[in-house]
Chain A
Amino acid sequence: MDAIWQQLPQQLINGLTLGGVYALIAIGYSMVYGILNMLNFAHGEVYMIGGFAGWWTLRLLSQNGVPILHPLAVISLIIVVAMGVSGLLGMLIERIAYRPLRRAPRINLLLSALGVSIFLQNLVLNYQGAKVRFFHIGGLIPDSLQVIRIGPVVFSFMRVLVIVICLTLMAALTLVIKRTRLGKAMRATAQDVEAAAYMGIDVDRIIVVVFLIGSALGGVAGALVGLLFTQVDYYMGFQAGLKGFTAAVLGGIGNIGGAMLGGLLLGLIESLAVSFFSATYKDVVTFIILILVLIFRPWGLMGEKQPEKV
């Protein structure tokens, strides 16, 4: 038992990093769900492609494992490219696969999303192969920062960076939603698409923006995971998508603050499950949480229970 308690601070740090990533993914689910009431199955794949975009950027900017620019510039570029690629991809998906179905039954929309997800996953499989791609981050962080030791807790600079980036992005998003004209339009559309349209809001544009932002955040998450765990593969989006969705549901789907909270919470739970339970079944723990929340509190921790309309 003592060994486990000693590990605790370490696991908390790990959980926080992982949670930040989950939160970024969860935000994309929640934003789309808030407006279209649909589960964007393809979101996990957008995240995966963000990871690949990051990997590709790093490879372009490195020679023999050494970055050709200042490390901070490289990391910034990785993030910008991942955001751009994923954001555009999200917009494209909305345009092609979801917009034609806006009036169709929900099951059709969901199946279309499933189709996009399979398509993207296998597209990457066909072009990149099934093998894992490595991020050579050795040159990005000076040796003195590779391992930071505070008491018994050991962590890399990369973890700090990931946490900082996640929190910054979440804060920025909160500002956009709470303080800007665009944010107001987004909130209005989320409450009632039709009424928003009658008030002169270009709902189609808002939906595109929502996909852009949500997917860009998902893409960053992919790139950050690449930097953190130094590898990406075509299949990573499936699990991460489920985790992100779990986080979104845990916090209360449609609620962006909830998505952030849910993500951080899920990351912590998962890290603790690894130390107290077993690494083999850590995903089982996540899925059981998902199932329990959906069955007993489907509106999540921060969402509101809504009566069924008749």
Chain B
Amino acid sequence: MPADTSFSTTTSPRVWLNWLVFAAILLALPVIMPNSYWLRIYALTGIYVMLALGLNVVAGFAGLLDLAYVAFFGIGAYTFALLSSSQFNLHLPFWLALPIAAVVTMACGFVLGSTSIRLKGDYLAIVTLAFAQIFKLLLLNLDQPINITGGVNGIYNFDVIAFGPWQLFSPQAYAYLIWGAACLIIIGSFRIKRSRYGRGWEAIREDELAAAAMGVNTVWMKLMAFAGGAFVAGGAGAIFASFQDSVFPNNFDFPQLVVVYCMVILGGLGNIVGVIGGAVLLTVLPELLREYGAWRMMTYGLILVLLMALRPRGLFSHIPFLTRRRARPDKAVGNRLQASTDLYYADAQPERTLTPATADGQAGRELLFLQNVSRHFGGIAAVTDLNFKLYQGEILSIIGPNGAGKTTLFNLISGIYAPSSGAIIFNGRDISRDRPHQVNRAGIARTFQNLRVFPDMSIIENVAVGRFGRTQAGPLSILLRLPRHRREESDTLQRARRILSLFGARLTGYRHHQRASALSYANRRRLEIARALATDPKILLLDEPSAGMNPQETIEITRFIRQLRDRFGLTILLIEHKLNLVREISDRVIVMDYGRRIAGGSYAEVACNPRVIDAYLGKQRG
């Protein structure tokens, strides 16, 4: 089995070696640069690497199109400029002004983010663009009535960086300082990407709603991406200001934004090595092609269009020796060719793994209580005056014709919709106004009828996302690899493996590292259940778990659902159209039609209820 590098919190010897080589090159380059001009380019490249990696957090990891990004670069630079110059005679030392600039910028990122984070893709882009324009107008015009930004003339002549008696001003020293900072950002990028944060962002990028339903606090995570990106941009801005010894509004204008975006996209959104490559390429190449300067921006535009059409994952994607090899889907351990269905039956009994949820209450206790719940969309009443109780340890099925409001009911319980009226009481608390991630963390997990796995994440990562709400490591813990983060990561990995092993060999072994998009329909259903189980639920909401499964697989999933209750103490609410399955496992059945409950009771009772027969077959004439 390949090592689970995506969960590793230690550095392997091989990686150490890579780092040593990288560091040696970085140290050697300033010495062998032919002249101060190229030394300057070298330093500038480091700044762009930082900038691009910061943007990569926002746009690459979290998928937020933040067009105010360069404004954050500017906020950092101007903050530094104001703190460390004669503008206000503050003259703070560099080592104090730099962190202040970064933190101020982060705070700005947080504020901007909190105003606009609920907006979807294009709207977010345009709002951030508007903010960037306001920022630029302020830079240009805040030289009156009191001179703050210096207007078009900017601010210049900053204090020399001094650490005690040492003064740092030679180009070489700057090159080392800048690349030192860039290395920190690079390491930080790698660490954050392979953490619960990285997975949370990726989940949001792939399917925001599913991420929220799995316990990811999407608003908070997006804010963190904004703030994190702003922090990096602010720090880079301060260093840039000191390096250039001046700041002008033009340094932070739209073309600059485009350049940084091109770097990130050329490298591939989210691909750290690629983004570094993109930054280096797009800083050095224009210098080599200097006489074509006028065509530079035009080329950037063309690059964007062509990349999006031809290589949307970046220049460096799918190059065999640069990307991690994924196991062949049809070859198991030992290189034997096998079909996935054989694997299941070859496998032994699934081990007992989940902690029973019955520990905190006896069976038969009332766990979920829906009180006169209604939801209408405009004039359409999707659910009307629904009342029912779900008892601990039972399997309750909801059936009814298409459009009866079953899935709306699930969306109401899981917090995706708020009820128009009524209350949903879980464990004695009204959760009807909770957001999806809160409902999930309270102990209700769901699957989706229309399959919302995270297609580009590996199977084990999909399940690991389910652990998001049950782990706590914050950014600092992740960046410094503090014990809590290490503990949680190994725990996440182990649990994910154990949960996947519940499905026999269908989702284990080589499958762990396959993309979810490579899975069959039925296996995606299983993966959704596994992902929901990883959130440690008390109640599991299954929306048509057997849809798309053949008769054999339906029998298997029926058994599996019963096992979840019998062996692991889960309470299950089920929507299903296959009545055989419903008859097989339900303790009780509720029938819905036109948003109302029309019958309830045991399967046998509802099956001969005339109203149910009418709803399914239509009224008999005459």
Question: Which A residues fall within an 8 A CB radius of B?
Answer: 38-39, 96-97, 100-101, 104-112, 114-123, 125-126, 238, 242, 245-246, 249, 280-281, 283-284, 287-288, 290-291, 294-295, 298, 307-308, 310
Contact check, B309 vs A291: say whether CB atoms are below 8 A apart: no
Partner of B301, one of A104, A120, A298, A308: A120
Q: How many residues of B contact A (CB 8 A)?
A: 48
Identify the closest chain B residue to A107 (Cβ). Answer: B65
Partner of A108, one of B306, B308, B411: B308
* Bound complex: CA A108 to CA B308 (Å): 6
Beta-carbon contacts under 8 Å, B43-85 to A: 59, 63, 65
Can you list 27 pairs linking A and B with CB atoms under 8 Å apart? Answer: A38-B122, A106-B121, A106-B122, A107-B59, A107-B269, A110-B65, A110-B122, A111-B65, A111-B304, A112-B304, A115-B305, A115-B308, A118-B258, A119-B301, A122-B297, A238-B254, A245-B126, A249-B123, A280-B137, A281-B141, A287-B130, A290-B127, A291-B127, A294-B116, A295-B115, A295-B116, A310-B411
Identify the closest chain A residue to B132 (Cβ). Answer: A287
* Bound complex: CA A43 to CA B269 (Å): 25
Contact check, B309 vs A114: say whether CB atoms are below 8 A apart: no
B407 near A: Cβ within 8 Å? yes
With A107-B121, A295-B127 as contacts: A118 and B309 at CB distance below 8 Å: no
* B-chain residues with CB within 8 Å of residue A106 when the two chains form the complex: 121-122
* A-chain residues with CB within 8 Å of residue B302 when the two chains form the complex: 115, 119
* B-chain residues with CB within 8 Å of residue A116 when the two chains form the complex: 301, 305
B416 near A: Cβ within 8 Å? yes
Question: Which B residues fall within an 8 A CB radius of A?
Answer: 59, 63, 65, 115-116, 118-119, 121-123, 125-127, 129-131, 133-134, 137-138, 141, 209, 254-255, 258, 261, 265, 269, 294-295, 297-298, 300-306, 308-309, 312, 377, 407, 411, 416-417, 448
* A-chain residues with CB within 8 Å of residue B258 when the two chains form the complex: 114, 118
Nearest CB of chain B from residue A98's CB, rounded to whole Å? 10
* A-chain residues with CB within 8 Å of residue B63 when the two chains form the complex: 107
Identify the closest chain B residue to A38 (Cβ). Answer: B122
Nearest CB of chain A from residue B304's CB, rounded to whole Å? 3
* Bound complex: CA A111 to CA B258 (Å): 10
* Bound complex: CA A290 to CA B254 (Å): 19
Nearest CB of chain B from residue A34's CB, rounded to whole Å? 13
* Bound complex: CA A308 to CA B239 (Å): 43
* Bound complex: CA A115 to CA B257 (Å): 12
With A118-B298, A126-B298 as contacts: A111 and B308 at CB distance below 8 Å: yes
* A-chain residues with CB within 8 Å of residue B138 when the two chains form the complex: 284
Contact check, A101 vs B308: say whether CB atoms are below 8 A apart: yes
Identify the closest chain A residue to B414 (Cβ). Answer: A310
Contact check, B301 vs A39: say whether CB atoms are below 8 A apart: no
A-B pairs with the 5 shortest C-beta distances? A115-B304, A119-B301, A118-B301, A122-B298, A287-B130
Identify the closest chain B residue to A290 (Cβ). Answer: B130
